[in-house]
Amino acid sequence: MSDSIIQKVADEFRALSEPQGNARPPAGPAPAAAEPVGNGAVHGEPFVSPHPYATVLHDRRLAAEAQGLARRDTLLYLNGVTKSFDGFKAINNLSLVIQKGEMRAIIGPNGAGKTTMMDIITGKTRPDKGEVFFAGDVDLTHHDEAAIASMGIGRKFQKPTVFESHTVEDNIRLSLAGPRSVLGALVHRKDRAERDRIETILETTRLTARRKTYAANLSHGQKQWLEIGMLLAQDPELLLVDEPVAGMTDAETEETARLLREIAQHHSVVVVEHDMHFVRALGVKVTCLHEGSVLSEGTLDKVSNDPKVIEVYLGR
Ligand SMILES: Nc1ncnc2c1ncn2[C@@H]1O[C@H](COP(=O)(O)OP(=O)(O)OP(=O)(O)O)[C@@H](O)[C@H]1O
Ligand SMILES: [Mg+2]
């Protein structure tokens, strides 16, 4: 054992041995309730005091097993993630778990670290420390952006990035095409399965009537839907959507909430948004980030009534 481990063991040993008001009760019958007889025996049975460090090891193994089990069942698992930029902690010991099939809304004031969190999940930014696992056991910190996208994590950035000089339908076809060349995708014989997929995506994204429209001529909201459609074409298991309703009309915002709820029936979704009407319409669990960590989590009512959250928003 190295000196530091020995020191750590010694510290833990000491901490366990010291009588403390809030110390964990020892295993077995509580000494106060027992009647020590002679040299430590209770009711005639030999008294065996567990070695304090054995208890530490046992607890650690149980905790690790519990954590492993929990992680295996999760879709996204962030634990103790930290990322600094020039000494400033944009993400600070962030822990967050998204279950398979879940849609989660992430809120938080400007600069809370919401986009940086997505950068870390998608491999755009490497964390300084902490764990980031996808589908239980894929360590995302060991993969680059392209590999992570191909594993089934799709991302929509704040600004829509559609091919303006192509029609809505061709934008979706190009996204379905995957590794084929752009020209190859456009002249490719439309097979039945591909046509069906395009129809479904057009319907989901409310763009069926706009299929022949050049993307450049769509409204801002429709461009956002088209980009969501282009993500869907890749059939990601998890969609990360950053501020989808910024700049949308009220009607488009309401429609986007419905659209994402439909998508969430078949995909997991993490959606960052400031618009609280929209977050309420999503009707999902909410995580509020602040200064790179989770400030509050739960239903929107619980989070928005949390004094810590109120202080952060009112204090801006
Ligand atoms: N590449 C970078 N270099 C330096 N600082 C950065 C970088 N990326 C993010 N930051 C800083 O990290 C902090 C978190 O930024 P981030 O964009 O993640 O916040 P956000 O929660 O997405 O905010 P908003 O709601 O305004 O989009 C900010 O203070 C930002 O300036
Ligand atoms: Mg952001």
Query: Is the pLDDT assigned to residue 14 strictly greater than 50?
Result: no
Q: How far apart are CA 199 and CA 106, in angstroms?
A: 31
The tokens describing 35, both together, are 């009647």
User: How far apart are the CA of 48 and the centre of ligand 2, in A?
Assistant: 57
The answer to whether residues 53 and 184 belong to one domain is: no
Neighbouring C-beta atoms of residue 163, cutoff 10 Å: 16
> What pLDDT digit, counting tens, does each position of 302-315 carry?
999 999 999 998 77
Which of 116, 120, 241 is the pocket-test mutation for ligand 1 (most atoms within 8 Å of CB)?
116
pLDDT higher than 50, residue 20 = no
| 82 inside domain | no
Are 58 and 158 in the same domain? no
Q: What is the CATH number of the domain that holds 161?
A: 3.40.50.300
Q: Mean of the pLDDT values across residues 61-85? A: 81
- Report d(CA 75, CA 39) in Å as an integer: 54
**In terms of Cα–Cα distance, which of 259, 249, 186, 260 is closest to 219?**
249
Task: For residue 38, tell me if it sits in a domain.
Answer: yes
Residues 43 and 120 in one domain: no
Mean pLDDT, rounded, for 159-173: 91
Residue 97, beta-bridge partner list: 77
Per mean pLDDT, which range of 118-127, 172-181, 203-212, 265-274 is the poorest?
Answer: 172-181
In angstroms, the CA 158 to CA 224 distance is 9
Mutation to probe ligand 1, out of 78, 83, 85 (largest number of atoms < 8 A from CB)? 85
What pLDDT score does 236 carry? 94
pTM of the model: 0.77
pLDDT (average), residues 11-20: 40
Query: What is the domain range of residue 58?
Result: 30-70
Is residue 36 domain-shared with residue 156, that is, in the same domain? no
What angle do helix axes 168-177 and 220-233 make, rounded to 10 degrees?
30
- What is the percent of the chain with per-residue pLDDT over 90, rounded to a whole number? 67
Do the Cβ atoms of 260 and 244 come closer than 8 Å? yes
Question: Could you tell me which of 23, 107, 97 has the C-alpha nearest to residue 67?
Answer: 97
